[in-house]
Amino acid sequence: LINCNENCYEFVSNQDNGLIYNEVGEFMMQYTQNSSDDCSDVILGCTNTNACNYQENATVNDGSCVYMTTFTYYEYSEWGIPQYDALGNPVMVYGPLQNPDIQCECYNNVYDDSGILYNEAGEEILEYIENSNNECNDLVLGCTNSNACNYQENASLNDGSCEYYTINTYYQVYNEWGIPLYDSQGNPVMEYGPVPNPDIQCENMDISGCTNNDALNYNEEATNDDGSCVLECDVTFENVSTITSLVSIYNVYTVNIILGSTQITSGDLVGVFYLLDGILISGGYVVYDGSNSIEIALVGDDPNTEQIEGFQQGQEIIWIVQQAETEINYLIDVETDAETFTPNTEEVVVLEEVNPTAILGCTDISACNYNEQANLNDGSCKYSEPNFDCNGNCNNDSDMDTVCDETDNCIDDMNPNQIDTDNDGVGDACDYDDGIGIDELESTRPELIKMIDVLGRTQQEHTQGTLLFYLYNNGKVEKRLK
């Protein structure tokens, strides 16, 4: 910048008196309000011949230059002075750098209402200009990053179409000029999210995990099933007994979620869970009180101890609601920016809908509460007591006295009180020798006249598996199942 007449123009600053730059760090300039005729030779404009809007007659660069830029690493300079680290190496930053080898009329940035569009790695998205001329024949827009899954060997300019295998991790935050940001203590500003992982080649990036979408730990990104699918669990709502200093608060909104055929109601349980070695662990719960939002605290695991006390950094949070009236559990899909646990944060979660694929319930057909629609056993199966059905009735009760035949001391005689005076295992209702001597017993024992079936037909013998009525000479009738 050569200032022949400093009264003709001035730096442009913002309301905080900070100087304003264009995308490649050139100062923005403007004419002064009291510029005189002496300024007639001063023409503000773009003086860089590499810019798309180079102005041949401009004498002072006013920062209005528009460049076709590419994102790359470059040596950082301040006030035109190269910067070096403590070891004497150039300070390298990642950001937009003008590319003078590309004709400006060949392509444009892609915009939406918020401005220039970028891909997940922060690379500008570009497109050809429809009326580009023959000078653009050598320009091939495509993915030029060899670490990307769709690397295009013949591409000459990266158009932001690169697709990367990403991992969730902490990364340092840079400003729009590619300069790293630091907090007031001098520590790098870090954020957690997806970043490209150049160490993994796409053709070899088999992602191991559970590929069964019915499983509790289904991983939609997994390409190789590693046998870790959890198709059976024990859903137990428990409060957390161990507290650490790593606690996050979740504000939960229900948005009238439907459980089965009814809306969530007061008394239903809203719980958070996580998987530890394939076992479902309760991370706490709250009782829904009917309000629009409820608050639940998630305790994080202290990485400095061997014991696992709670959610680990980056661990998936599983949301389950139990309907109090039916005791049926529902796996819930949520809408949130915090699907995985991050310690010491406050998050918002919307319980959106019941998961339509993984259906919790009892999958044992012999259980009283068998759910034919369930594909994920949640440990809720309930079984009848021995000799009883699921309604509490005897499976076998010949004399209809509500005492099951298997334990009835008089199977054919109604005796609900099971009185047995002589404690010989035969109830008084059918024990004919109670209080009678042997001689008397022989003289008073009733004589069988005949046996008949349910149709009244006389039978000569009682075959196995049939029901007959025994008629005695004293008028007594016995129903016997052999």
Residue 116 has pLDDT above 80, yes or no: no
Sequence ranges of the chain with CATH classification 2.60.40.1120:
247-377
What is the per-residue pLDDT for 331? 94
Q: 453: which 2 tokens?
A: 């079936």
Residue 83 has pLDDT above 60, yes or no: yes
What is the per-residue pLDDT for 3? 43
Mean pLDDT of the region 35-60: 78
Residue 4 has pLDDT above 60, yes or no: no
Q: Is the pTM of this model over 0.85?
A: no
Residue closest to 93 by CA, chosen among 118, 110, 72 = 72
Q: Is 110 helix (H, G, I), strand (E, B) or coil?
A: coil
The predicted-structure confidence for 289-345, as pLDDT tens digits, reads as follows: 998 889 999 999 988 888 898 999 889 999 999 999 999 999 999 999 888 899 999
Mean pLDDT of the region 205-223: 81
Tell me the CB-side half-sphere exposure of residue 363, using CA atoms within 13 A: 13
Measure the CA–CA gap between 462 and 465, rounded to whole angstroms: 9
* More confident of the two residues 147 and 107: 107
Residue 40 has pLDDT above 80, yes or no: no
What is the per-residue pLDDT for 208? 77
Mean pLDDT of the region 236-256: 89
- Tokens 């970043």: give the residue: 195
What is the per-residue pLDDT for 2? 39
Residue 201 has pLDDT above 60, yes or no: no
Q: What is the mean pLDDT of the chain?
A: 82
Measure the CA–CA gap between 311 and 272, rounded to whole angstroms: 10
What is the per-residue pLDDT for 386? 93
What is the per-residue pLDDT for 153? 83
Least confident segment among 187-191, 200-204, 284-288: 200-204
What is the per-residue pLDDT for 109? 76
What is the per-residue pLDDT for 35? 58
Query: How far separated are the first and last CA of the chain, in Å rounded?
Result: 115
CATH number assigned to the domain with residue range 247-377, chosen from the 4 options 3.30.420.480, 3.40.50.300, 2.40.50.140, 2.60.40.1120: 2.60.40.1120
Mean pLDDT of the region 121-131: 75
Measure the CA–CA gap between 204 and 432, rounded to whole angstroms: 85
What pLDDT band is residue 178 in, cutting at 50, 70 and 90? Answer: low
Q: What is the DSSP string of 133-198?
A: -GGGTT--EE---TTSTT--TT-SEE-S-----EEEEEEE-B-TTSPBPB-TTSPBPEEEEEEE-T
Q: 95: which 2 tokens?
A: 């950001």
For the chain, percent of residues with pLDDT exceeding 70: 83
* More confident of the two residues 218 and 138: 218
What is the per-residue pLDDT for 184? 79
Q: What is the DSSP string of 306-372?
A: SS--SBPTTPBPEEEEE-TTT--EEEEEEEES-SB--SS-EEEEEEEEE-SSS-EEB--TTSTTB-T
Residue 37 has pLDDT above 70, yes or no: no
What is the per-residue pLDDT for 382? 93
Report how far apart, in Å, the C-alpha atoms of 464 and of each of 67, 413, 448 are.
101, 20, 19
Q: Which residues contact 228 (CB under 8 A, 6 or more apart)?
A: 209, 210, 217, 278
The predicted-structure confidence for 426-461, as pLDDT tens digits, reads as follows: 998 888 766 554 554 555 678 888 999 888 899 888
What type of residue is 329?
A: N
4 exposure class (CB count in 10 Å sphere: 0-12, 13-18, 19+): exposed
- 45-49, 73-77, 126-130 — most confident range: 45-49
The predicted-structure confidence for 403-428, as pLDDT tens digits, reads as follows: 999 999 999 899 999 998 888 889 98
Least confident segment among 17-26, 357-366, 385-394, 421-430: 17-26
Measure the CA–CA gap between 190 and 269, rounded to whole angstroms: 36
